[in-house]
Chain A
Amino acid sequence: MTTIERDPTSLGVTTPTMAPDLIRQVDDDTPSVALTYQEAIREALREEMVRDETVFLIGEDIGKHGGAFGVTRTLFDQFGPERVRNTPISENTIVGAATGAALVGMRPVAEIMFVDFSGLAMDQIANQAAKLRLMTGGQCCVPWVLRMPQGGGAGKSTAAQHSQSLEVWFAHIPGLKVVFPSTPYDAKGLMKAAIRDDNPVVFLEHKLLYSFRGAVPEADYVLPLGECDVKREGRDVTIVASAYMVWQAMLAAQIVAPEGIDVEVIDVRTVSPLDEETIGASVRKTGRAVIVAEACRSYGPTGEWAMVAMEQAFDYLKAPIVRIAGRNTPIPYADSIEAGAWPEASDIVGAIREVMA
């Protein structure tokens, strides 16, 4: 059952609290279990660690404590301290050690507690892991996964150093893959793919989605990296978004449906490499595009995705592309002003009406 509540800070529109019915990815005939996004990631880690003994976890407070967001909870008891490896607060060496282990045949899954701390590890991420394969002429590969929670909002009030959306930091570096799932189903299938991939994969997890629950197949499955997913098919407007903003887009689509506007939602669940074809095909079909991201507007993902839509579908556009993005601000603390830093469904609804006008 979709739950809608009125957000007093918005212009009389709505936000989802928990709306699993907005996205259905597993049909009724498939044996499945309802997992939260957090649980889905954990089960992917567990299953891959059972399947492949070279997979191990490394990061701060990921042992008994289970990580800052509880994702690795119970894994320490199952796999022990060697494979669920608590570290000192040393982000650069967490990533560097993952790289070194990956170079000699392991498949580490490293965790940095918040994406905001990735700056401490950026030499190892951007200068080392991303470049080693090319720099060595293909002598090696770096099959690691780097898990990092990001994003914020909804009155969490974690302020400027624990709330950012930084997917473009990584997407701008060739050699990295960047995943940012929106649902439990996607999170599990993409985590498995990320672990089995031979490249360094930055796996971003949206903090507000950890408690979102959805159906996940009981059987083993792996989703492809590097592909967008059409979360809702429609004729009139394409919305391009990822992670939490996919839910905002789905909500906006539901709100405008009674007006006769049929919205298509493209989920950029792999941010890099970007699946330009799926975005292009959708915009060629609808002729209208609203591009949405929580990250800051300037030099953010919306600029890139809008340019892809224009390159792929310029001759089909019936209206200028509109983008909805986070404001260009460090995230302020207080509820009242924090909420103003991010876009929400009401903003997307406004943009849909604008491109339909």
Chain B
Amino acid sequence: MPVWPTLEDRTGRLRAVTPDAQAQLEMFRRMVLIREFELACIDLFKRGQIKGGIHPYIGQEASGVGVCMALRTDDLIAGTHRSHGHNLAKGASPARMMAEILGKETGYCKGRGGSMHIAAFDTGSLGALAVVGSGIPIAVGAALAFHMRGEDRVSVPFTGDAGTNTGNWHEGLNMASIWDLPIVFVLEDNKYGVSTHIRDTTNVSDLSVRAAAYGIPGVKVDGFDVLAVYSAAIEAVARAREGLGPSLLVTESYRFEGHYAGEPQVYRERSEVDEQMRNDPIVRFKKTLIESDVAAESDLDAVVSATRDEIARAIEWAQDSPEPDPTTATDYIYA
């Protein structure tokens, strides 16, 4: 029997928190935005217009959106190499993100960061940090500042499943727990660290039990279900905001694309991917929205086509934007 606290302990069971219709439609819009953005990136990559690699978030949209919809703009997220989705979920501009990925001066990071380092401080993203697990200590520090200043802001580091085996993870969860910091550790279990399955690198099947080592609540949710992710996130964020300390939220889903766009994926069978794609979080949520009378199918299709238009405009604007001046290669090293 587990003796550690769980998120369920506070309420008897994990509450299902159902956002209002407008919020649900916004969730759907953001998930579609991420999907269409990533598809556009893959297309641009295949056509050689994106030089660096990209790491698509396709299949995991419900995780980022469910968490970020539970946050305020002034709450902070820290991302990973796979953070297009986190930034879009937190409200970043797809045009400025696309400009960044295309290496343009109009990008969020003025073309200095690229796909793996998009930061959007104006919408509460302190950066995509591409060394696995490295955002955890930094998010702990942001939470420490909030705690020391008595602010009710929350810090949320996203990490993939493989990040749970880094030293960052252990040090960060431990330090946050001893100080009761306002932080929600989101572990996005997409099953693979590059080519290696999480079952080959971890001896527990439920990663949320790792919270027990730090005396903090841990919960695993269906990462394909945006409402389930949102409900758990609301609870964990509330705990953090109330000064009750950190939580671990494991969202279990799957990476539909390779580790990077164009990866041969020799390490997994196509049938495994096809099986997982039956859980497509957008298809599922669309069905839920229609069945619960939140929206008609035509409304949702209109969201998709409006999003495609938005991304087409974003790409056009980004492509027309200037590249950074070569004489500015050493700008922004020092403040």
Contact = CB atoms under 8 A, between A and B. Distances in A.
A, B bound: yes
A175 B112 CA distance: 14
A100 interface: yes
A135 B117 contact: yes
Given A101-B144, A103-B142, A106-B145, A135 B168 contact: no
Interface in B108-161: 108-113, 117, 119, 121, 126-127, 129, 131, 134, 136-146, 148, 155
B140 to A, nearest CB: 5
Nearest to A142: B335
Contact of B121 (A83, A96, A106, A136): A136
Contact of B127 (A108, A120, A135, A138): A135
A166 B333 CA distance: 22
Interface stretch (B8-16, B169-177, B287-295): B169-177
A124 B110 contact: no
Contact of B171 (A90, A137, A143, A177): A90
A136 B112 contact: yes
B174 A123 contact: no
Given A88-B171, A92-B171, A134 B332 contact: yes
Contacts of A100: 78, 126, 137-145, 155
A90 B141 contact: no
A141 interface: yes
A198 interface: yes
A174 B333 contact: yes
Tier of interface size on chain A: 35 or more
A140 B121 contact: yes
B137 A93 contact: yes
B163 interface: no
A93 B168 contact: yes
Contacts of B76: 104
B119 A136 contact: yes
B258 interface: no
Contacts of B333: 133-134, 174-175
A103 B126 contact: yes
B217 interface: no
B131 A123 contact: yes
A140 B109 CA distance: 10
Interface in A76-105: 82-83, 87-88, 90, 92-93, 95-105
Contacts of B167: 92, 120
A105 B142 CA distance: 9
A25 B121 CA distance: 44
Given A56-B148, A100-B144, A138 B331 contact: yes
Contact of B138 (A90, A128, A137, A143): A128
Nearest to A110: B141
B277 interface: no
B134 A93 contact: no
A271 B300 CA distance: 60
A90 B113 contact: no
B194 interface: no
A353 B134 CA distance: 51
Contacts of A98: 141
Given A97-B140, A124-B137, A133-B334, A87 B148 contact: no
Contact of A139 (B108, B138, B142, B145): B108
B138 A133 contact: no
Interface string A198-214: 11000000000000000
A136 B138 contact: no
Contacts of A123: 131, 134, 168
A99 B331 CA distance: 21
A172 B113 CA distance: 20
Contacts of A139: 108-109, 119, 121
Contacts of B155: 100
A134 B138 CA distance: 17
A135 B109 contact: yes
The winner among B109, B127, B139, B332 for most chain A CB atoms within 10 A is B332
Contact of A82 (B140, B146, B148): B148
Contact of B141 (A101, A175, A177): A101
B137 A136 contact: no
Nearest to B107: A137
Contacts of B138: 96-97, 99-100, 103, 124, 128
Interface string B274-315: 000000000000000000000000000000000000000000
Nearest to A83: B148
Given A82-B148, A100-B143, A138 B332 contact: yes
Given A88-B175, A137-B111, A128 B129 contact: yes
B178 interface: yes
B141 A138 contact: no
Contacts of B148: 56, 82-83, 101, 106
Contacts of A9: none
Interface in A260-314: 273
A174 B333 CA distance: 7
B144 A137 contact: no
A137 B113 contact: yes
A124 B139 CA distance: 12
B127 A132 contact: yes
A88 B174 contact: yes
Given A88-B175, A106-B148, A199 B113 contact: no
Interface of B: 76, 78, 107-113, 117, 119, 121, 126-127, 129, 131, 134, 136-146, 148, 155, 167-168, 171-172, 174-175, 178, 331-335
10 contacts: A90-B174, A93-B136, A96-B134, A102-B141, A103-B126, A103-B142, A106-B145, A135-B112, A135-B117, A175-B333
